[in-house]
Structure 1
Amino acid sequence: MIVDGFFIAGALICAVTVLLGVIAAIARDYPDDFTLVSVAVLELFLLVYGVSAAIRQAGGQAISGESWEFWGYLITALFVPALAFIWAVTDKSRWSNLVLAASGLTVFVMLFRMEQIWDGVVAA
């Protein structure tokens, strides 16, 4: 699998989101600005990633896997941080921090799969 800059940036943002969510769950009972902003940054990254992917595909760079699968993952990934953010804003509890952390982990797994679909999986 070829790893590009978008995947590395996304992995770092996901890691920060997970780390902040877990630390916040251990340290306090409610989601704070740091955890909420980290999920908002994750959502913003996914939007930029989607626009970039559309531009790359329109420019002639082909997806190695199925296009519908890649875009399905991306659209689903866009919902995960948004729903986690809404959950955290409406439910001010320690568990909301863990939901925010879980959203970062979920998006990382989906980014990894999108990278495999885009570049193709090389058999080991």
Structure 2
Amino acid sequence: MIIGFTLVQVAVAGVAALMCIALGLAGRVPNDLTMGALLLVELLLIAQLVTAIIAPSVGNDASGSLLEFYTYQVSVLLVPPAAVFWALVDRSRWATVILGAGCLTVGIMVYRMQQIWGA
């Protein structure tokens, strides 16, 4: 994995998490801004998957467990769609907080994936 890209992903997920949690606690229901934040996080995760597939062929091999890394990769790809599904079903302010919790989860998992890749 590329450390710079990981830092960008963690930063974007962190900002999106803070925004969604703050808006949810302020009483706002899920809207285009909060859903768009999760879309951006998901697009970065898809780009990371492509990067992780290509990286070994250009000499950036993982030094940790590939099984553990790809288990994290597949799992983290499911978090934003699950949070968005929850927000679409439960249109309350707490659904916006759940969107933030999903972003926070993504940030933590991406950081851990970087640790696994470069262990």
What TM-score does the superposition give when structure 1 sets the normalisation length?
0.89
Are residue 112 (structure 1) and residue 105 (structure 2) matched? Answer: no
**Maintained 8 Å contact 1:29/1:92:** no
What is the distance in 2 between the residues matched to 1:94 and 1:71? 33
Q: Which runs of 4+ in 1 moved over 6 A?
A: none
Query: What CA RMSD, in Å, does the superposition of the two structures yield over aligned residues?
Result: 1.5
Structure 2 stretches of 5 or more lacking a match?
A: none
What is the distance in 1 between the residues matched to 2:56 and 2:77? 19
1:63-78 counterparts in 2 under 5 A? 63-78=62-77
Give the equivalent residue in structure 2 for 1:21. 20
Secondary structure of residue in 2 paired with 1:45: helix
Q: Deviations over 1:66-85 (max 9, x none)?
A: 10110000100000011101
Letter in 2 for 1:33: D
More deviation in 19-28 or 49-58? 19-28
Identical aligned residues as a percent: 35
Structure 1 stretches of 5 or more lacking a match?
A: none
Give the equivalent residue in structure 2 for 1:56. 55
More deviation in 6-15 or 71-80? 6-15
1:94-113 counterparts in 2 under 5 A? 94-113=93-112
Give the equivalent residue in structure 2 for 1:40. 39
Secondary structure of residue in 2 paired with 1:78: helix
More deviation in 20-29 or 107-116? 20-29
What is the total number of aligned residue pairs between the two structures?
119
